[in-house]
Amino acid sequence: MEPVNVGLLGLGTVGGGTVTVLKRNASEIARRAGRGIVITHAAARDIHSKRKINLDGIKLTADGFAVVNDPQVQVVVELIGGDTIARELVLQAIQNGKHVVTANKALIAKHGNELFALAQQRGVMIAFEAAVAGGIPIIKTLREGLAGNRIEWLAGIINGTGNFILSEMRSKGRDFHDVLKEAQHLGYAEADPTFDVEGIDAAHKLTILAAIAFGIPLQFSKVYTEGITRISADDIRYAEELGYRIKHLGIAKHHDKGIELRVHPTLIPESRLIANVDGVMNAVVVKGDAVGPTLFYGAGAGAEPTASAVVADLVDVVRALTTDPENRVPHLAFQADALVNAPILPMRHVETTYYLRLKAQDRIGVLADVTRILSEQGINIEAILQKEPAVPGSDVHIILLTHRVLEKHMDEAIARIEALESITDDVMRLRVETLS
Ligand code: NDP
Ligand code: HSE
């Protein structure tokens, strides 16, 4: 049988990894797919740039539309990123009746509803395993392996760059910006790294995971998003003294009243497996009603781990070339006409436990004022640490762990605490999850 011709858009970190893995494992891949899979065309901004990949036999162009409009190209792999030119190219590919594989979470999270509808009309597939958690096959797992379950919640470390930064800060005391630079050099970070450190990339991924887990439309704008830029070395140390690790988590929970979608730094008991996932590694815990808790672990970013997911999608697409569109696995796991519009809960209605770090003047009565405010808001304290001032007479850090409370009560308590004259800085609030 003739090999399947692939047009590749983007020859950067993931594009390069995809060329390498497809060439290196060509015969194994062909044995699995039933046909060879060959990159015949590729686009990059600078086609004269020196690359450490073997581009023999690939027709290069700087015009992505020349690839998606070429009648010889049967499957388009989009690895440019962003949701401007990438969206136009993917729309054009679908209009041309070509299947698409992409690693682009921003594109899927923001425009997936539109793209999947068009793909369904045109009878083509959009595969996006690499868009979430790099090399971990979490999309396939949720869509197929756990299809018998009602998913109750999932929580994951789903940004490799952020986890790399927090791990290096904790284990080696390294500086945030220095580690971020290294993550960029290693090809982990997004083109705009604020997407990684401000939680936007994780929010894109959580949008996708939640849609597939719960059978809801993609709703990126409703994800509560906080990044890791405010985490200090002190917070990491205090959390450790209390028996916790700080991890940047994406959390989606299904309640009777609606769905929680939130991305933020989280204290996790250090005994949990996921609390010990370090470096660029990602991990996702999925709790299904039948299977119970399951944990999926692997590299969350990088050339070949991500290429592993891109190539697996290509194999799936090739295997499905001869199936009727209505017999394929639905893009969002549930049949397109069976998605439900469950409400996404506003953050004020989310209940959790909290870590608070206060900076206060070192004088009598401060702690009494703080605990009075918390008790008036109905907030129970589980633990308090007061750190000696570095220099006698200077401000002190007070660290509190609370019991579960609604976010709106905590918002009110924090506003009142910050208004105290003796509190000299904004309160640092982190959420705590036991994931039990
Ligand atoms: P890179 O920046 O390394 O690569 C982007 C590629 O796109 C480059 O080859 C660039 O060309 C090319 N390009 C940019 N604009 C155009 C254009 N207008 N026309 C044609 N080609 C263009 O990105 P990554 O490989 O890191 O990421 C690609 C996608 O994969 C993104 O969606 C990202 O979010 C996702 N992803 C990345 C992971 C990672 O570990 N890096 C992991 C999982 C997903 P040139 O080389 O000439 O500049
Ligand atoms: N920038 C992303 C990360 C790439 O660090 O996780 C993988 O999606």
Q: Average of pLDDT values for 196-206?
A: 98
Q: How far apart are CA 166 and CA 233, in angstroms?
A: 9
Q: Can you give the C-alpha Rg of the chain in angstroms?
A: 24
pLDDT on residue 228: 98
The CA dihedral of 254, 256, 258, 263, to the nearest 10 degrees, is -30
234-249 pLDDT tens trace? 999 999 999 999 999 9
Note if 50 is an active site residue.
no
- Token output for 412: 């009110």
Q: How far is it between the farthest Cα atoms of the chain? A: 83
- Residue environment code for 399-428, b if the CB has 16+ CB neighbours within 10 A, otherwise e: bbbbeebbbebbeebbebbeebebbeeebb
Whether 64 lines ligand 1, by a CB cut-off of 6 Å, is: yes
CA of 161 to the centre of ligand 2 (A): 6
pLDDT tier at 77, thresholds 50, 70, 90? very high
pLDDT on residue 388: 82
pLDDT on residue 70: 98
| Nearest partner of 219 among 119, 348, 109, judged by Cα | 109
254-312 pLDDT tens trace? 999 999 999 999 999 999 999 999 999 999 999 999 999 999 999 999 999 999 999 99
- Among the residue ranges 234-243, 347-356, 389-398, 414-423, the one predicted with the least confidence is 389-398
Q: How far apart are CA 399 and CA 267, in angstroms?
A: 13
pLDDT on residue 186: 98
CA of 350 to the centre of ligand 1 (A): 36
pLDDT on residue 268: 98
103-135 pLDDT tens trace? 999 999 999 999 999 999 999 999 999 999 999
Residue nearest (by alpha carbon) to ligand 2 atom 7: 301
Percent of the chain with pLDDT over 90: 96
Provide the 3-class DSSP secondary structure of residue 387.
Answer: coil
Q: Cα dist. 40→34, 76, 360 in Å?
A: 18, 11, 64
CA of 380 to the centre of ligand 1 (A): 48
8-52 pLDDT tens trace? 999 999 999 999 999 999 999 999 999 999 999 999 999 999 999
- Token output for 284: 């996702």
The whole-model pTM stands at 0.97
